[in-house]
Homo-oligomer: A and B are copies of this chain.
Amino acid sequence: MADQKKMVAQITDMEEDFTQWYTDVCTKAELIAYSHIKGFMVIKPYGYALWENMQSLLDGRFKATGVQNVYMPLLIPESLLAKEGELVNGFAPEVAWVTAGGTEPLTERLAIRPTSETVFSDFYKDDVHSYRDLPRLYNQWCSVVRWEKETRPFLRSREFLWQEGHTIHATKEEAEERTQQMLNVYADFLAEDMAIPTIKGQKTEKEKFAGADATYTVEALMHDGRALQSGTSHFFGQKFSKAYGIQFTDRDNQLKYVWQTSWGVTTRMIGAMIMVHGDNRGLVIPPKIAPIQVDIIPIQQKKAGVLEAANRLASALSAFRVKVDDTEKTPGYKFAEQEMRGIPIRIEIGPRDIENGKCVIVRRDNGEKIEADIEDIEGTVKTVLATVQKDMLAKAQAQLDGMTYEARTPEEFRERFDNDKGDGFIKAMWCGDRACEDKIKEEYGVTSRCIPFHQENIAGTCVCCGKPAKKMVYWAKAY
């Protein structure tokens, strides 16, 4: 077990230093490497395979609602970006500018897309003429660049991978419905596929997306009690369609402006997965998105018949993403690697097991050992993986619930947040004034995460100023 300890010792204890634990897991589980280009990271094969699985499941969910994929230009002329004032003001401080093509300076600067509302709008303007052309439900998978000052793997980097959906509609109602629909797609994907429960709600004016009429969000809570915005869906009203001139002839023969939405999720969700499910042995990946679902580890593999039995098991499990670890490492070291990489289950199989027609399944999420018949292995693994998936969501939900508090008074609020810890979600009433939001952020580094759809009446007065309250808000320190 010395090997195993050595490997586990490579990562910092999460209770000691959560930030360092996170970075250790990202690199030791080989999700990423730091590049030599400041603020940019390399997504390594294991990290990218995770993203591919997430993409595939999400893309299927998008397409089931009628969404189609497209590809839009990477570069945006400054004048095009500037047509909608709020957006450009929101993004100007973090845009990377191209000023030369080949050996010649450009006559106009081009931005590397920080987001593509402007390019989609410019395209839709010519693409749409009649109500018959609507809705347009387009999405693209791509990378975007935002010149962040501080960067951390998956959470904040100068380039990240995402999808951005941009839809246009003939009516306000239809656009609003789509905004909600996509938020629900995100919440369902996070819960059902990534085992991450979220709070659904609306962003305040202060926190909403530059240029949006309304921004909706799904907020997750990390193991250290900090919140992570995990997906957003925006209703733009007619702001972009008026700025970019996207008009159509309606059934009544009138020329009208379209109603618009956009919605996106990013590789940030991988950060959420690490910080919701991970533990001091490393990653814990939900089965549905795991690059490898089953790691078969032969015990005493040099003994006659052991490797053959392991490979027969793998064949019987070909419906899953399975590997046999037949390297020269010790079983203990292999266990530690499988745990570091968060592979949902391992199967141990040795000479005595084979004799008895048995093998041992070990769950990564809770360490439970299950003796299984080799004969029925496919059905057993299917059941165990489904159980792991379900239990991981339940555990994460319990973790979220256990770290959600209420504050009725400014004192209760201060008591929870006036410290260096994350310390969870706090539900508290708000008067609706920006000044209170600003004050809370300044004093505690706490932001309003969302005005949840599910409202509760915690108290009658604002937790900050004591004036009559309008809304219940989820507050937290956030990534």
Residues of A within 8 A of B (CB): 33, 35-37, 40-45, 48-49, 51-52, 68-77, 80, 92-103, 110, 112, 119, 122-123, 126-127, 138, 142-143, 145, 147, 158-159, 161
Least Cβ distance of A256 to chain B in Å?
A: 22
- A/B interface sample: 29 pairs, CB < 8 A: A35-B72, A35-B73, A35-B119, A35-B123, A36-B80, A37-B73, A37-B76, A37-B80, A37-B110, A40-B75, A41-B73, A42-B72, A42-B123, A45-B138, A48-B71, A49-B69, A73-B159, A74-B112, A74-B145, A93-B103, A94-B101, A94-B102, A96-B101, A97-B98, A97-B100, A97-B101, A98-B112, A99-B99, A102-B147
**Contacting pair B92 A70 (CB below 8 A):** no
Inside 8 A of A97's CB, which chain B residues have their CB?
Answer: 98-101
Most buried by B among A71, A96, A98, A119: A71
**Contacting pair B74 A45 (CB below 8 A):** no
**Contacting pair A71 B43 (CB below 8 A):** yes
Inside 8 A of A138's CB, which chain B residues have their CB?
Answer: 45
Least Cβ distance of A182 to chain B in Å?
A: 17
**Contacting pair A71 B42 (CB below 8 A):** yes
Inside 8 A of A159's CB, which chain B residues have their CB?
Answer: 73-75
Inside 8 A of A94's CB, which chain B residues have their CB?
Answer: 101-102
**Contacting pair A77 B33 (CB below 8 A):** no
**Contacting pair B98 A98 (CB below 8 A):** yes
Inside 8 A of A98's CB, which chain B residues have their CB?
Answer: 96-99, 112
Inside 8 A of A103's CB, which chain B residues have their CB?
Answer: 92-93
Least Cβ distance of A336 to chain B in Å?
A: 18
Given contacts A49-B68, A97-B98, contact A77 B37 (CB under 8 A): yes
Inside 8 A of A42's CB, which chain B residues have their CB?
Answer: 70-73, 123
**Contacting pair B40 A69 (CB below 8 A):** no
